[in-house]
Amino acid sequence: MLLKYKGVLDSRMRPHVGTGHRRSLPGILFSTLVFGPACGFILGSLCTKFYVDAVFIDTSKLNITPEDPRWIGAWWAGFLLCGALLFCSAVLMFGFPQSLPNKERDEAADSEHAMLPPSMTPDYETPKPSNGVVHNHEPANSPTCCQQLRVIPKVTKHLLSNPVFTCIILAACMEIAVVAGFAAFLGKYLEQQFNLTTTSANQLLGMTAIPCACLGIFMGGLLVKKLNLSALGAIRMAMLVNLISTTCYISFLFLGCDTGPVAGVTVTYPNRTLAVGKKPEAQCISQCNCFISSISPVCGSNGVTYLSACFAGCTRSGKTKTSSGLTQNLTGCSCVSAESEFATAVPGKCPTPGCQESFLIFLCVICACSLVGAMAQTPSVIILIRTVSPELKSYALGVLFLLLRLLGFIPPPLIFGAAIDSTCLFWSSDCGDKGACLLYNNTVYRHLYVSLAIILKGIAFLLYATTWYCLHRNYKKYIKSHECHMTPREFYPSLTDGPKKVDRTKFIYSLDEHEFCENMESVL
C-alpha cells in the first residue's frame, strides 16, 4: 500500500527537492507511514481491554476478564476513532493550494530520467496548466474514449515485456505477500505459540516489530543515498537483505512451544481411547453437561491441561490470596486425581518448559527480521522508477499497485488462513454447527506457517536475482537515467520512420513543468 504514494511523492518532490535528497525521501515517507500500523496495534490492544458490548451492558457483572479466552474486545472502537481522525485530516487537505510554487532550476541538467528527443519539443510542448486541463493549443485530433481504451493493453504489454520491470513488480508482490499473510496472523500466532492474550500480543507487535520495520525503511533510504547506489547496487542490496531476513524466518521454525498434554485431545482420559476432533468423554465427567462452544482451559495439578473446569470434573471454586492478588482455585476435580487433596486446578494452560526463553529469543529475532527486511523497500522502488520512461511512470505505478492488490494482498491471507485451519485439533460446536478452532497442533502450525513465508521470500530472491542478471548483461537497455543516457534513436526507434499526425492515437502526459502530446505509436 505504501508504494502507491510513490507517484504522488515523485511528482511533488521533483520541482522542490534537489537530486541529492530524492533517494532518501522515499525512505523517509515510507518510514513515517509505517507509524500508522504501529499505532493501530497499540490502539487495538487498548480497545480489546473493553468488552464488545460495554456501551449497552454493565461489565462489572461479567464473570470473565480480558485474560479469559471467551472475552471479546471492543473491536469496533478503533474503526470509529480512526475514521474520525481520517475525516479531520481530510478536511485539512483542503487548505493546500491548487499548485505549489516551483523552485527555479535547470531541469534539463537536474533530471534523472531520459527526456524527450529535441525534435519533439517545438511541435508539441505547451505550458502545463495549473489545473491539468489542456487548453485550445492542444492538437486538434484529441483521442476519443475508445482510442484511449485501446491504448491501455498496448502500454501494459510494453511495460510487462520489460523483464526488469516485471521481475521487480513480482518480487514486490512476494514481499508484500509475506507481510499480508504472515503479519496478518502474527498476533494469533503469538497467542497460540506462547500463550499470550490478545491484548499482550497486539501491544508487543505495536511496540517492537512495527517500529523496527519503520526504522528499517528509513535506513534503507539513507543507505541508498549515502552509498549513492546505482540500479545494480540497489538490486544487490535488496538481495542481501532478503537473504538475511529469510535466515531469520528459518530460525522461527525452532522457536516455539508445543501444544502440551490436553486431556481428551492429545492425551487420553483414564481408561478411555483418544477420539481426535470429538467431544471428550470420560467416566469422571459422565454426570456433567460440558459445552464445547467455547473453552476456558485449566491446568490440573497433574500437569495436564483440560478444556475447561467442567472437563476436569471440578465441583468447587474458591479464591486464594497471592502476592499478585486473588487467584481462582478449583477443587474437587475428579478427572485430575482420585484423591481430593491433589484434585485441584488453576485457570489457564499448563506452562511448557523452556517456552519463556523461546519467546524472548523470538521477540529479538522478529525485531531484527523486521528491521532488515524493510530495508529493501526503497531500493526496489528506485529500480522500478528507473526502468520506466517518464511518460509511462504514472501508469507503471498504477500497474504496480494493481498487481500488488491482486497478487500480494488478496491470495496470501486466504492461503495462510487455510493452512492454519488445517492444523486445528479441536473445533468448537454449537447446536451441531462447526465453529472456530479451539486448539491447534502448535508444532505443525509453526512449521507450516513459517514455511509459507520462507517459500515466498525464496521466490522473491529468485526474482531479484533474475533482475540482477538482466541488468548485469545489458544495463544500458533497461535503465533510463543520468547514469547512462540513451540516444533518441535507441529510446524512440519508431521516430525515425516519420510517423504521421493524422488518424493516430495521441498520448498526453505531464513531464516536469510541461505537458506533451505524442503519437502512441512512437512510444511503443
Question: Do 366 and 234 have their domain in common?
Answer: yes
- Backbone φ and ψ for 317, nearest 5 degrees, come out as -135, 135
Q: At what angle do helices 210-226 and 231-252 cross, to 10 degrees?
A: 150
- Backbone φ and ψ for 379, nearest 5 degrees, come out as -55, -40
Question: Do 387 and 300 have their domain in common?
Answer: no
Q: How many of the other CB atoms lie within 10 Å of CB of 515?
A: 21
Spatial distance between the Cα atoms of 232 and 448, rounded to a whole number of angstroms: 34
Evaluate whether residue 23 is within a structural domain: yes
Question: Do 374 and 500 have their domain in common?
Answer: no
Evaluate whether residue 91 is within a structural domain: yes
CATH of the domain at 194: 1.20.1250.20
Question: Do 459 and 523 have their domain in common?
Answer: no
- Backbone φ and ψ for 298, nearest 5 degrees, come out as -130, 150
Of 347, 373, 400, the residue at which a domain comes to its end is 347
Q: Select from 359, 370, 360 the least CA-distant residue to 245.
A: 370
Query: In this predicted model, what pLDDT tens digit does every residue of 455-472 receive, in sequence order?
Result: 999 999 999 999 999 888
Question: Do 219 and 81 have their domain in common?
Answer: yes
- Backbone φ and ψ for 105, nearest 5 degrees, come out as -165, 165
Question: Which residues of the chain register pLDDT less than 70?
Answer: 1-38, 41, 67-70, 99-143, 271-277, 294, 320-327, 340-341, 432, 478-524
Across 394-473, the runs of DSSP E, i.e. the strands, are 424-430, 433-440
Question: Do 138 and 52 have their domain in common?
Answer: no
pLDDT (0 to 100) of residue 170: 92
CB 2 within 8 A of CB 377: yes
Question: Do 450 and 469 have their domain in common?
Answer: yes
Evaluate whether residue 174 is within a structural domain: yes
Of 347, 365, 390, the residue at which a domain comes to its end is 347
pLDDT (0 to 100) of residue 69: 64
Question: Do 50 and 128 have their domain in common?
Answer: no
Evaluate whether residue 317 is within a structural domain: yes
Instruction: Domain of residue 498: give its range.
Output: 122-145+489-524
Of 321, 347, 373, the residue at which a domain comes to its end is 347
Evaluate whether residue 380 is within a structural domain: yes
Q: Select from 391, 381, 372, 376 the least CA-distant residue to 3.
A: 381
pLDDT (0 to 100) of residue 96: 77
Strand 424-430 to 316-322 pairing: unpaired
pLDDT (0 to 100) of residue 456: 94
Contacts 24+ apart (CB under 8 A), 125-128: 125/514, 125/515, 125/516, 126/514, 126/515, 126/516, 126/517, 127/513, 127/514, 127/515, 128/510, 128/513, 128/514, 128/515
Place of cell 454447527: 433
Spatial distance between the Cα atoms of 75 and 73, rounded to a whole number of angstroms: 6
Which distant-in-sequence residues (6+ apart) come within 8 Å of 461 by Cβ? 239, 242, 243, 246
Question: Do 70 and 128 have their domain in common?
Answer: no
Q: Which amino acid is it at 41?
A: F
Q: Select from 309, 333, 311, 310 the least CA-distant residue to 267.
A: 311
Evaluate whether residue 262 is within a structural domain: no
Question: Do 332 and 360 have their domain in common?
Answer: no
Spatial distance between the Cα atoms of 300 and 264, rounded to a whole number of angstroms: 14
pLDDT (0 to 100) of residue 242: 92
Evaluate whether residue 428 is within a structural domain: no
Spatial distance between the Cα atoms of 373 and 208, rounded to a whole number of angstroms: 14
Provide the domain count of the chain: 3
Q: At what angle do helices 186-194 and 355-373 cross, to 10 degrees?
A: 160
CB 239 within 8 A of CB 468: yes
Spatial distance between the Cα atoms of 470 and 456, rounded to a whole number of angstroms: 21
Within 268-388, where are the H helices? 355-373, 377-386
Query: In this predicted model, what pLDDT tens digit does every residue of 99-142 receive, in sequence order?
Result: 666 654 444 444 444 333 333 333 434 444 444 444 444 444 56
Question: Do 330 and 368 have their domain in common?
Answer: no
Evaluate whether residue 436 is within a structural domain: no
Question: Do 173 and 291 have their domain in common?
Answer: no
SS3 for 38-56 is: HHHHHHHHHHCCCECCCCC
